[in-house]
Structure 1
Amino acid sequence: MTRFLWLIFLLLITGTATAQTAPERYPLIPYPASLTPATGTFTITKATQLALPKEGKHFEKEAEQLQALLRNGVGAPLKTTKKLVANGIELRYDASIMAPEGYRLTITPQQMTLAAKEPAGMFRAVQTVRQLLPATIEKAGKSAAPMTLPAVQIEDQPAYAWRGMHLDVSRHFFDVAYIKKYMDLLALYKFNKLHLHLTDDQGWRLEIKKYPKLTEVGAWRTFNNQDSACIKKSKDNPDFALEPKHLRQRNGQTEYGGFYTQDEMRGIIAYATARHIEVIPEIDMPGHMMAAIRAYPFLTCNGKNDWGKLFSTPICPCNESTYEFVENVLKEVAALFPSPYVHIGADEVDKASWNTTACTELMQKEGIKDVNGLQSYFVRRVERFLQSKGKKMIGWDDMLEGGIDPSATVMYWRSWVKDAPAKAIRNGNPLIMTPVSTLYFDNLPDKNSLGKVYDFDVVPAGVDAAQSQKALLGAQANLWTEQVPSENRADYMVMPRMTALAEVVWTNKKQYASYLTRLRQHYPRLALLNVHYRVPDLAGFSEESVFTDKTSLQVEKPLDNLIIRYTTDGSIPTDASPVLPAALPITQPTTVKLVAFTPEGLRGDTYAIRYKQQAYAAPVSAKAPAPGLTATYFTGYFKKSALMQQAKANGSTTVTSVQVPKQAEADQFGVQFRGYLDVPETGIYTFYLTCDDGGTLRLADRIVVDNDGLHSAIEKTGQVALTKGLHPIALDFVEGGGGYMLLLKYSKDGSEPQQVPANWLKH
Structure 2
Amino acid sequence: MKRLLLWPLMVVLASACRGPQPKPSAETPQARTALSIQWRPVDNLVGRGRFFHSALTLENQGPVALGSSGWKLYFSFSRRFLKDGEGNVDLVQALEKQGIRISKADLAGSGDYHVLEPLAGFQPLLPGERRTFDLLANYQAILKTDAPAGFHVVFSGEPSRRGVAFAVPLTVEFDVSDRKQTTRFGGDVLPVPTPELRHAENPAFQSLALAARLLPVPRRVKEGAGRVTLRGDIDIGHAPALAGEAAYLASALRDVLAASITTRPDGGDARISLRLDATLDIDGDGARDAEGYLLEVKNGRVSIIGADAAGAFYGIQTLRQLVPTEAYAAAVRPGGRQSELSLPEVSIADAPGFVYRGMHLDVARHFQSKETIKKLLDVLAHFKINTFHFHLTDDEGWRIEIPGIPELTSYGARRGFDPAEAGMLHMAMGSGDNREGGDPLDLEPVRREEVGRALPPAYQGFEPEMLNFVGKGSGFYTARDFEEILAYATERHIDVIPEIDVPGHSRAAVRAMEYRHRVFQGSDPLRASEYRLSDPEDTSEHLSVQSYTDNFLNPCLESTYAFLDKVVRELKARYDAVPGARLVAIHGGGDELPSLRSNVWWQGSPQCKRNSATRDLSDVQLFNHFLTRWHRIITSTGARMTGWDDVLHHGLALEGFIPMPWSNVWGWGREGDAYTYANQGYQVVLAHATNLYLDMAYDKDPDEPGAAWANFVDDQRTFEYRPFDIFSNATEDAMGRPIAPSTWKDKERLSAAGKKNVLGMQGLLWAENVKTPQVLEYLAFPRMLGVAERAWNPELPPVSEMPALWARYTNSLGQYVLPRLGVYRAVDVRGELPERLGVNYRIPLPGARRVEGRLEANVLFPGFVLEYSTDAGGTWSVYSGPVPVSGKVLLRTRAGDGRFSRTAELD
SS of corresponding position for 2:344? strand
Alignment correspondent of 2:893? 596
CA distance in 1, matches of 2:718, 2:586: 27
Matches within 5 A, 1:517-666: 517-519=811-813, 520-529=815-824, 530-541=838-849, 551-557=853-859, 558-566=861-869, 577-579=875-877, 592-609=889-906, 611=907
CA distance in 1, matches of 2:609, 2:616: 10
Alignment correspondent of 2:302? 112
CA distance in 2, matches of 1:27, 1:137: 16
CA distance in 2, matches of 1:234, 1:442: 25
SS of corresponding position for 1:78? strand
Matches within 5 A, 1:31-180: 31-52=217-238, 56-79=239-262, 88-97=271-280, 98-135=288-325, 136-137=327-328, 139=331, 141-180=335-374
Which of 388, 405, 425 in structure 1 is aligned with 2:678?
425
Alignment correspondent of 1:752? none
SS of corresponding position for 1:521? helix
Question: 1:630-683 CA deviation, whole Å, 9 max, x = no partner?
Answer: xxxxxxxxxxxxxxxxxxxxxxxxxxxxxxxxxxxxxxxxxxxxxxxxxxxxxx
CA distance in 1, matches of 2:630, 2:790: 33
Q: Displacement, 1:221? A: 0.7
**Matching of residue 397 in structure 1 with residue 651 in structure 2:** no
Question: 1:284-315 CA deviation, whole Å, 9 max, x = no partner?
Answer: 10111111122113422456899715243311
Q: 1:357–1:442: structure 2 CA closer, same or farther, 3 Å change rule?
A: closer
Matches within 5 A, 1:261-660: 261-297=478-514, 298-302=532-536, 308=543, 310-311=545-546, 312=548, 313=550, 314-337=552-575, 338-350=582-594, 352-358=600-606, 361=609, 365=613, 370-402=618-650, 403-416=652-665, 417-446=670-699, 449-460=714-725, 462-510=748-796, 511-519=805-813, 520-529=815-824, 530-541=838-849, 551-557=853-859, 558-566=861-869, 577-579=875-877, 592-609=889-906, 611=907
Q: Displacement, 1:399? A: 1.3
Alignment correspondent of 1:732? none
What code does the residue aligned with 2:307 have?
K
Which of 419, 425, 429 in structure 2 is aligned with 1:226?
429
What code does the residue aligned with 1:226 have?
M
Q: 1:367–1:428: structure 2 CA closer, same or farther, 3 Å change rule?
A: farther
CA distance in 1, matches of 2:428, 2:773: 20
Question: 1:692-717 CA deviation, whole Å, 9 max, x = no partner?
Answer: xxxxxxxxxxxxxxxxxxxxxxxxxx
Q: Tell me, which stretches of 5 or more residues in structure 2 are unaligned?
A: 1-205, 281-287, 418-426, 435-443, 449-455, 515-531, 576-581, 700-711, 727-747, 797-804, 825-837
What code does the residue aligned with 2:494 have?
I
Alignment correspondent of 1:23? 209
What code does the residue aligned with 2:570 have?
E
CA distance in 1, matches of 2:663, 2:843: 29
Conserved? CA contact 1:334–1:391, under 8 Å: no
Shifted more, 137-146 versus 198-207: the winner is 137-146
Conserved? CA contact 2:258–2:340, under 8 Å: no
What code does the residue aligned with 1:294 have?
R
Alignment correspondent of 2:421? none
Q: Displacement, 1:481? A: 1.1
Q: Tell me, which stretches of 5 or more residues in structure 1 are unaligned?
A: 1-19, 249-253, 612-763
CA distance in 2, matches of 1:238, 1:114: 40
Q: Displacement, 1:357? A: 4.7
Conserved? CA contact 2:496–2:583, under 8 Å: yes
Q: Displacement, 1:94? A: 1.9
What code does the residue aligned with 2:506 have?
M
Q: 1:25–1:432: structure 2 CA closer, same or farther, 3 Å change rule?
A: closer
Question: 1:181-229 CA deviation, whole Å, 9 max, x = no partner?
Answer: 1001111000000111101111111001121111101111127452269
CA distance in 2, matches of 1:82, 1:346: 48
What code does the residue aligned with 1:389 have?
T
What code does the residue aligned with 2:508 have?
A
Question: 1:82-132 CA deviation, whole Å, 9 max, x = no partner?
Answer: 566778222122232122211111121332211123111111111110011
Shifted more, 313-322 versus 369-378: the winner is 369-378
CA distance in 1, matches of 2:573, 2:464: 33
Conserved? CA contact 2:364–2:392, under 8 Å: yes
Q: Percent same amino acid among aligned pairs?
A: 30
Conserved? CA contact 2:236–2:270, under 8 Å: no
CA distance in 2, matches of 1:389, 1:86: 45
Q: Displacement, 1:385? A: 1.2
Alignment correspondent of 1:746? none
Conserved? CA contact 2:679–2:750, under 8 Å: no
Q: Displacement, 1:568? A: 6.5
CA distance in 2, matches of 1:273, 1:391: 16
Alignment correspondent of 1:8? none
Alignment correspondent of 1:730? none
Q: 1:190–1:537: structure 2 CA closer, same or farther, 3 Å change rule?
A: same
Shifted more, 409-418 versus 442-451: the winner is 442-451
Q: 1:472–1:359: structure 2 CA closer, same or farther, 3 Å change rule?
A: farther
Q: 1:577–1:316: structure 2 CA closer, same or farther, 3 Å change rule?
A: farther
Conserved? CA contact 1:266–1:336, under 8 Å: yes
RMSD between aligned alpha carbons?
A: 3.5
Q: Displacement, 1:265? A: 0.3
Question: 1:514-552 CA deviation, whole Å, 9 max, x = no partner?
Answer: 3223222122211112101111341134xxx9x9xx855
Q: 1:563–1:344: structure 2 CA closer, same or farther, 3 Å change rule?
A: same
Q: Displacement, 1:566? A: 4.1
Shifted more, 558-567 versus 489-498: the winner is 558-567
Q: 1:460–1:326: structure 2 CA closer, same or farther, 3 Å change rule?
A: farther
Q: Displacement, 1:279? A: 0.7
Conserved? CA contact 2:215–2:383, under 8 Å: yes
Question: 1:483-505 CA deviation, whole Å, 9 max, x = no partner?
Answer: 11011111111111111111111
Q: TM-score, with normalisation over the residues of structure 2?
A: 0.58
Q: Displacement, 1:580? A: 6.6
How many residues were matched structurally? 569
Alignment correspondent of 1:708? none
Which of 390, 401, 405 in structure 2 is aligned with 1:196?
390
Q: 1:505–1:465: structure 2 CA closer, same or farther, 3 Å change rule?
A: farther
Greater relative contact order structure (CA < 8 Å, 6+ sep): 2
CA distance in 2, matches of 1:233, 1:563: 33
Shifted more, 139-148 versus 111-120: the winner is 139-148
Q: Displacement, 1:256? A: 3.3
Shifted more, 128-137 versus 381-390: the winner is 128-137
Q: Displacement, 1:255? A: 8.2
Conserved? CA contact 1:86–1:111, under 8 Å: no
Q: 1:383–1:242: structure 2 CA closer, same or farther, 3 Å change rule?
A: farther
CA distance in 2, matches of 1:467, 1:368: 39
CA distance in 1, matches of 2:785, 2:793: 12
Q: 1:607–1:370: structure 2 CA closer, same or farther, 3 Å change rule?
A: farther
Question: 1:316-347 CA deviation, whole Å, 9 max, x = no partner?
Answer: 11222222222222221233233220011110
CA distance in 1, matches of 2:293, 2:233: 26
Q: 1:309–1:168: structure 2 CA closer, same or farther, 3 Å change rule?
A: closer
Q: Displacement, 1:419? A: 3.0
Q: Displacement, 1:376? A: 1.4
Q: Displacement, 1:75? A: 2.0
Conserved? CA contact 2:392–2:399, under 8 Å: yes
Matches within 5 A, 1:239-250: 239=459
Conserved? CA contact 1:50–1:84, under 8 Å: no
Question: 1:459-518 CA deviation, whole Å, 9 max, x = no partner?
Answer: 255343522343211000001110110111111111111111111111234433332232
Q: Displacement, 1:277? A: 0.5
CA distance in 1, matches of 2:369, 2:899: 23
